[in-house]
Amino acid sequence: MSSSHRPLRIALNGYGRIGRCVLRALHERGGSDMQIVALNDLADQASIEYLTRFDSTHGRFPGEVRVDGDCLHINGQCVQVLCAPRPEDIDWQALELDLLLECSGQYTSRADAERFLQAGAPRVLFSQPMAGAGAVDTTLVYGINHQTLDPAARLVSNASCTTNASVPVLRLLNELIGLEYISITTIHSAMNDQPVIDAYHHTDLRRTRSAFQSVIPVSTGLARGIERLLPELAGRVEAKAIRVPTVNVSALDITLQTSRDTSAAEVNRLLKSASESEYRGLLDYTELQHASCDFNHDPHSAIVDGSQTRVAGPRLVNLLVWFDNEWGFANRMLDVADYWLQLANRNN
Ligand SMILES: NC(=O)c1ccc[n+]([C@@H]2O[C@H](COP(=O)([O-])OP(=O)(O)OC[C@H]3O[C@@H](n4cnc5c(N)ncnc54)[C@H](OP(=O)(O)O)[C@@H]3O)[C@@H](O)[C@H]2O)c1
């Protein structure tokens, strides 16, 4: 705990997959200065309690969950449950918040993001990349650029799960070997923006298709997201994404044209060494015979599967990188939140 002993008050807007993982990860970590004091979602209280207690992907909540009045009690702490569709329907100031975590995914422009500030939220961390660089004050990937955060920032994006997974690997290999061109395919688990059986979607024809019946290409902003974090790679990255019929854990298939000759052994040695030093806790490394479900509930941003590293010719590298798209990302939301609030406290 910090010397002030005052809990840092956080609220969640949107209590779906990421919102619930953030709340649960905070409780599983324990010993944090941060406390979730309110959550806002369109769902009713009974469903909120139920889906907090029972999670098909991460299992039962490891603690007490109980609803009483407008409180969702988690291990004895009251989280006030709100149900308002618009940011201005809530007096965020009255909640005496230090930080709001926006996890509904519904607000992507600067104008929309500022609605939370106008309604009294002091700072907002968004669980997705925003529309254009100016939509937030900065986009952070914890472990890469979080230390550039200006304490005066009010709107911050936590980037995407795929950006968090790819950037540590790319930055490292660009620094130590040099990268000419990068091509990435994200192999991503299904998400709640896809139907179980074919249904209408208003902006994307492929998202009308049954999530558990097909391998489905979808659009991705990963290449631009990487360039935002690693401008030295601008114009040299492309990416595509396919959704696959699993419920959680995704992978990156990364192809790299390097600037000098290398080998699978060298690439693996560099990544393994970084996972034990500068990227410990963010990047992991394995050569075991894994399948994706082995990484469910893994808090790392990325796990390099060294058994799948291939080098075709001396300068064409192919990597397989696993990541728990829910749990890893939720833990990075907490890492950024914690860093931001400690920084803000020091500058007060
Ligand atoms: N899931 C992942 O692996 C992952 C990883 C990284 C980042 N993200 C990003 O995080 C965001 C949320 O994703 P998710 O997977 O958690 O989605 P989700 O499971 O659909 O959760 C979103 C929640 O927000 C609620 N909501 C919708 N409109 C709202 C509003 N106006 N005010 C308050 N709550 C509202 C939704 O309710 P209804 O269901 O009633 O609409 C739902 O409960 C997206 O931007 C996504 O791209 C997701």
Q: For residue 132, is pLDDT > 90?
A: no
Q: For residue 20, is pLDDT > 80?
A: yes
Which ligand 1 atom minimizes the distance to the CA of 325?
3
Residue 220 lies in domain: 161-325
Q: Which long-range contacts (CB under 8 A, 24 or more apart) does 307-311 make?
A: 309/264, 309/267, 309/268, 310/264, 311/262, 311/263, 311/264, 311/267
pLDDT of residue 3: 44
pLDDT of residue 202: 84
Note the pLDDT tens digit of each residue in 259-294.
999 999 999 999 999 999 999 999 999 999 999 999
Q: Residue 194: which CATH number? A: 3.30.360.10
Which ligand 1 atom minimizes the distance to the CA of 13?
33
Cβ of 164 below 6 Å from ligand 1: no
Total tally of structural domains belonging to the chain = 2
Secondary structure element (H or E) that encloses residue 238, with its range: strand 237-244
Residue 161: active-site member: yes
* Same domain flag for 53 and 129: yes
Q: Residue 67: which CATH number? A: 3.40.50.720
Note the pLDDT tens digit of each residue in 185-211.
999 999 999 999 999 988 889 999 999
Among 52, 60, 119, 59, smallest CA distance to 81 is for 52
3, part of any domain: no
Cβ of 38 below 6 Å from ligand 1: no
The H helix count followed by the E strand count for the chain is 7, 17
* Same domain flag for 117 and 169: no
User: Would the annotation count 277 as a binding residue?
Assistant: no
151, part of any domain: no
56, part of any domain: yes
Exposure string of 94-124, with b = 16+ CB inside 10 Å and e = fewer, is ebebbbbbbbbbebbeeebbbebbebbbbbb
* Same domain flag for 127 and 185: no
On whether the CB atoms of residues 149 and 138 are closer than 8 A, the answer is yes
142, part of any domain: no
Cβ of 163 below 6 Å from ligand 1: no
User: Would the annotation count 210 as a binding residue?
Assistant: no
Note the pLDDT tens digit of each residue in 53-73.
999 999 999 999 999 999 999
* Same domain flag for 200 and 252: yes
User: Would the annotation count 18 as a binding residue?
Assistant: yes
* Same domain flag for 58 and 181: no
